[in-house]
Structure 1
Amino acid sequence: MTAGIDMGTGAGGTRATLDLEELLATRLLVQGNSGSGKSHLLRRLLEQSAGWVQQVIIDPEGDFVTLGDRYGHVAIEGDRTEAELLGIAARVRQHRVSCVLSLEGLDAEDQMRNAAIFLNGMFDADRDFWYPVLVVVDEAQLFAPAAAGEVNDEVRRLSLGAMTNLMCRGRKRGLAGVIATQRLAKLAKNVAAEASNFLMGRTFLDIDMARASDLLGLERRQAEMFRDLPRGNFVALGPALSRKPLKVEIGKVETSARSSSPKLMPLPEANVDAADLILTPDPQELTRPIPRYVQPAPRPSTDILAELSKARDIEPVETREARPKRAELTEEEREQLVQAALEDVLSQGDSAFRPDAELFQEFLVRCRIRRLTGATVALPEFRQRLAIIRSGADEETRGSETWAKALDLSRSVTDDLKAVFLLIANAAITGQPCPSDQAIARAYGTHSARRARRLLSYFEEQGLIVLHQDRVGARIAAFPDLDAETAPGNPDQPEVETRSAAE
């Protein structure tokens, strides 16, 4: 069965028809700047095909809900939970009900998320309900943006994936995408490229005119025609429209949008008391509270960390006084508890690749668990202790004069490099093999062996170490200021082998 949809007037006054059955198989892309008649075109298409095919409209402005008064479209408010949207989408396909998903009043991120959930719910419907549906998406550049914007990346990927499914894989599930956009340059290319039918309206930017002419197979010099198109006129091309570019004037519609283009209106008669009218406040305004918001000054991160490290008294005074007081800890006992908290933090498998600030917060929690009240360790000292532990130096090494010199040398490098520097220094002091690239990378908090080699080159440029090789190509790191050097080590040795050898 074929259905010819009357879209308006073509060249020579002939009727411009659209093959609805062909459209369901080949999809449609509409472009036009604001005010070009793009929404009018979509409304004409929806009105003319309402009796032939089920329709679903993704409407960011709520303009198409007026179709329900004449054609029975169900208006669905988009401000719903994910479960509600998925359930409604499944029932829409099951019962073949035409509807309008109105996203009016939602911010851009919620519009993208809820539209994507609804489209995915239709896409994932049971095979028994894969009836043909005309899915119209107005302002498609909002839901399939060509570049990342201010919205969350996860939401953007979700929305772009739903639009891609609609245009690329929707045909087999009965979903025929009709997308309209103000600017082709802002629409993702993989979404626009799946359309085989085009209706291009008035546009002014060179990049949009160039893309429009490319899609229609026109020469670049013909792109200027899009600037001169009157409102409501489009250039049509595609198997459902015309085999060659055809100028079409869209016909009239029977329903109207809730919002319309602004019209000129006569101003009210001049009022001699106009100044008093706008400058004299209403008596109720004087009693109405005026909300004021004062932006607080940003606090330094050091102050925030210092406050977080303080123990807070959250118990009533009576409860604290009734509790038996703990004996005061000696300095040695306190140091043992701090060291145990540090070891707990570093015992986790991913600790080497987590930021120091995150580890510091977990360390403070571990200290509270051990009832270490008051100031424990500040963030700079925590980083120093972390670097020493990651170096692998034992207690005997840390008590030597050479190690004290190594600590002094480590002050010449930044905090993030101290663990790497002390790791190599420990190997030199104890005569161990030079650490491999993977071991150095782990101490720095990365998996990149290339970055490890760059760190060694940086230390050598600063005059802290001297790198050389033995006869078989093993790497040796010498410390001129410590009068020590590492044993030859294989830079490509896997980390597991390196750590087991050290143990």
Structure 2
Amino acid sequence: MKVGIDMGTTSEGTSASLDIEELLATRLLVQGNSGSGKSHLLRRLLEQSAPWVQQCIIDPEGDFVTLADKFGHVVIEGERTDAELIGIATRIRQHRVSCVLSLEGLDVEQQMRSAGVFLNAMFDADREYWYPVLVVVDEAQMFAPSVGGDVSEEIRKVSLGAMTNLMCRGRKRGLAGVIATQRLAKLAKNVAAEASNFLMGRTFLDIDMLRAADLLGMDRRTAEMFRDLKRGSFVALGPALSRRPLRVTIGSVETSARSMSPKLMPLPEAPQDVADLIFTPDPEEFTRPVVRRTAPQPRPASDILAELSRPRPEPAAPVEAKPAQPEISAEEREALIGSLFAEIVANPEAAFRPDAELYQDFLVRCRIRRVPGTALSLSAFRRKMAVARSG
């Protein structure tokens, strides 16, 4: 079924139509500096497509939670454990409910971790739940950075791997990525290169203008046009939009973000006694305790030298090592692992849980039963799980 939604008007005065079915197969990249209208564009896309396709929004600033009142999206707070996020993502795909993962209030590392865990859980859903989902990621350069920043390498790998799975391998699992970024230069190239549809907005840096021109197949000499685009105007290209670069002005939206752009406001009329108002103290000011942080006094050099000259304390007696866990044979260990797989398969809900969640359950059971040796890898777990399910 072909469904076209209205994104606004073109420079020729005609309606700018976006083919949702084609978008699900080819993905979309939106780029524009802050204030260019990216969030407005994403909101227009989400509002117009809400009746036709399930949606999942990764929202780092909490701007899209207002969709819940109008379109019934479920708002998921990012301050949850990994197990909770995995379970919610699995049920989101199972019951085909549109949702907003709000990461507002979390620091960058927590946002990347929560988004990575949630996207990976949606990606690992069972095949029977591979229904089409429009996955919108705002500020994608945060979750798929081109270079390592201040976050740990482990968190960066989780987030970047989830974004790569979404854009590179998500199509066969029903996941259609729509990513928006302020800077193309800060977005990982292997993530951006998987999109076939583009909406390029206003940008001023030369490196971003040249990358935008290259993605649109335009002459580099015409890249200067991106500086002249007005707010809410984008250059569209792609099988779901237009076969040639086409300027589009995004239409109006029904909902609004909680955080709006700052507007000029007139100052209040100044009272006649403004100087007295400012310089006359409040009567409670003198009763209110004043807490001032004083700088610590430097330690005298004599104290430091005396401390260094003190004899070192005698080393404590070594603590007796705990008795090592008794070793078991390979056959006994294999039998113990087999019993754990049998317990997992016996649970009726195991057939509806993703492999990643079952793997975490298996590791917990291994620690409880004190299974010695190196833990199974995820790939080895999947092979043994397939054998256990087949009996």
Which stretches in structure 2 are left out of the alignment for 5+ residues? Answer: 321-391
Where does residue 145 of structure 2 map in the other structure? 145
Q: How many residues align?
A: 313
Report SS of the residue matched to 1:231. Answer: coil
TM-score, normalised via structure 1 length = 0.59
CA RMSD of aligned residues (A): 2.6
Cα distance in 2 for partners of 1:152, 1:283 equals 51
Per-residue CA distance 1:310-362 (angstroms, 9 max, x = gap):
559xxxxxxxxxxxxxxxxxxxxxxxxxxxxxxxxxxxxxxxxxxxxxxxxxx
**Residue equivalent to 2:223:** 223
Partner of 2:262: 262
Q: How far apart, CA to CA, are the structure 1 residues paired with 2:297 and 2:19?
A: 61
Q: 2:317 aligns with which of 368, 373, 377?
A: 368
1:156 is aligned to 2:156: yes
C-alpha separation between the residues in 2 aligned to 1:44 and 1:51? 13
Which residue is equivalent to 2:81? 81
Partners in 1 of 2:92 and 2:54 — Cα distance? 10
- Inter-partner Cα distance in structure 1 for 2:290 and 2:108: 31
Q: Deviations over 1:221-256 (max 9, x none)?
A: 100000000100000000100000000000000000
Q: Hey, what does 2:242 align to over in structure 1?
A: 242
- Asked if 1:30 corresponds to 2:63, the answer is no
Q: Write out the 4+ residue segments of structure 1 that deviate beyond 3 Å after TM superposition.
A: 272-286, 288-298, 309-312
Match of 1:205 in 2: 205
Q: Percent identity?
A: 74
- Paired position in structure 1 for 2:97: 97
The alignment partner of 2:12 has SS state of helix
CA distance in 1, matches of 2:298, 2:205: 43
Match of residue 382 from structure 2: none
1:99, 1:22 → 2: CA distance?
22
- Tell me the distance in 2 between the aligned counterparts of 1:177 and 1:296: 58
Distance 1:141 1:297, change over 3 A: farther
Corresponding letter in the other structure for 1:158: V
TM-aligned CA deviation for residue 272 of structure 1: 3.5
Alignment CA distance shift 1:87-1:284 (3 Å): farther
Letter in 1 for 2:71: Y
For residues 110-157 of structure 1, give each alpha carbon's deviation from its aligned partner in whole angstroms, at most 9, with x where no partner exists: 111111111111111111111100000000011111111111111111
Residue pairs, 1:324-343, within 5 angstroms? none
Rounded to whole Å, the distance in 2 between the matches of 1:281 and 1:101 is: 47
Task: Please tell me the residue identity of whatever aligns with 2:270.
Answer: A
**Rounded Cα–Cα distance in structure 2 between residues aligned with 1:296 and 1:89:** 54
Post-superposition offset of 1:56: 0.4
Distance 1:98 1:296, change over 3 A: farther
- Check if 1:49 corresponds to 2:52: no
Post-superposition shift, 1:296? 10
Q: Distance in 1 between matches of 2:297 and 2:217?
A: 57
Supply the AA of the counterpart residue of 1:214: D
Tell me, in whole angstroms, the C-alpha distance in 2 between the residues paired with 1:114 and 1:99. Answer: 14
Residue in structure 1 matched with residue 184 of structure 2 by the alignment: 184
| Greater Cα shift, 283-292 or 7-16 | 283-292
Structure 2 CA distance for aligned equivalents of residues 121 and 112 of structure 1: 14
Matched to 1:57, the amino acid is: I
1:240-288 deviation digits (Å, cap 9, x = unpaired): 0000000000000000000111111111002344344445555556525
Cα distance, 1:86 vs structure 2: 0.7
Runs of at least 5 residues in structure 1 that lack an aligned partner in the other structure: 313-363, 372-503
Distance in 1 between residues matched to 2:98 and 2:141, nearest whole Å = 23
- 1:287 equivalent to 2:288? Answer yes
Rg larger in 1 or in 2?
Answer: 1
Q: 1:271 to 1:181 in 2, by over 3 A?
A: same
